[in-house]
Structure 1
Amino acid sequence: MKDSVEVMSYLNKYASQIASKYNVHACTDITGFGFMGHLYEMVSSSHVSARVHHKEIPLIKGAKEFAGMGIIPSGAYRNRKYMEGKYLFGDFVEQNIKDIMFDPQTSGGLLISADKADAYKMISDLENIKTSCSIVGEVTKKQDYFIYVD
């Protein structure tokens, strides 16, 4: 619980200040629509698709275990229903990870789309301010689904 409170208390302000130094195409805070809903809004409005590497997504300590016990907010199921037909999960993505990706956060992190060259520099700057971050995927040309998760 302590880790969750710490993550939610840390303002996205610092990360957004760093991101503003780079060639960012889109940025959103992950809130009520969950990771998948916010990513869908980003890619669909740009007429592209995204490939997400689920093992690269930073998770709050314990999130995977709680999701595995079925402790999922009802909003996650509404988000998943809204997203039907817009995404495809690979065979090896565990159910608890799928649930987490639709989880409606009240204080989630930032989802940033940036040029590849800038992304690595931005990661370095974010790590310097002790912000949990990673490159979780890439944008691709528009395909059958808006989001592919492997």
Structure 2
Amino acid sequence: MSPRRFLSRVLCPALLLGVLAACDTPSSGDRAGQAQTRTSTTARATRDPHSGLPFIAAADLPPEGQRTLRLIRAGGPFPYRKDGSTFGNREGILPRRSSGGYREYTVPTPGEGDRGARRIVCAAVSPPDAECYYSADHYASFRRIRP
């Protein structure tokens, strides 16, 4: 292949794509582009900046999780003896806190004869809904419940 043919077949399309991408970038004087940028920076984050964990809305929790969260916010009473006990964070997934910094609560699993694997873990020193996390798999992963 001649150098000229190479340039026309390989580099020209690449250059064209670069030019098109540059055309999509709003100029500093483009008010519509500025509004679009402002909108994207104010959109709700998908990850908690403190823990790095993905967010989950309380409304997206399973119904049993929503009930457990309401009980936590109300201060109980809790159906399981271990609800409100210290969560040690031995997995190291949640942000570090001093010993006793988290409390765990059971999210019942329909059809399970015991407590099941689902939990809500909340920071012990903050208001009950300020820093809570949901685990559907017995602490293997967590999602931050959006405050």
TM-score range, shorter chain: under 0.3
Larger relative contact order (CA 8 Å, sep ≥ 6): 1
Q: Taking structure 1 as the reference length, what is the TM-score of the superposition?
A: 0.24
Q: Give the helix-richer structure, 1 or 2.
A: 1
Q: Find the structure with the greater CA-based Rg.
A: 2
Q: Taking structure 2 as the reference length, what is the TM-score of the superposition?
A: 0.24
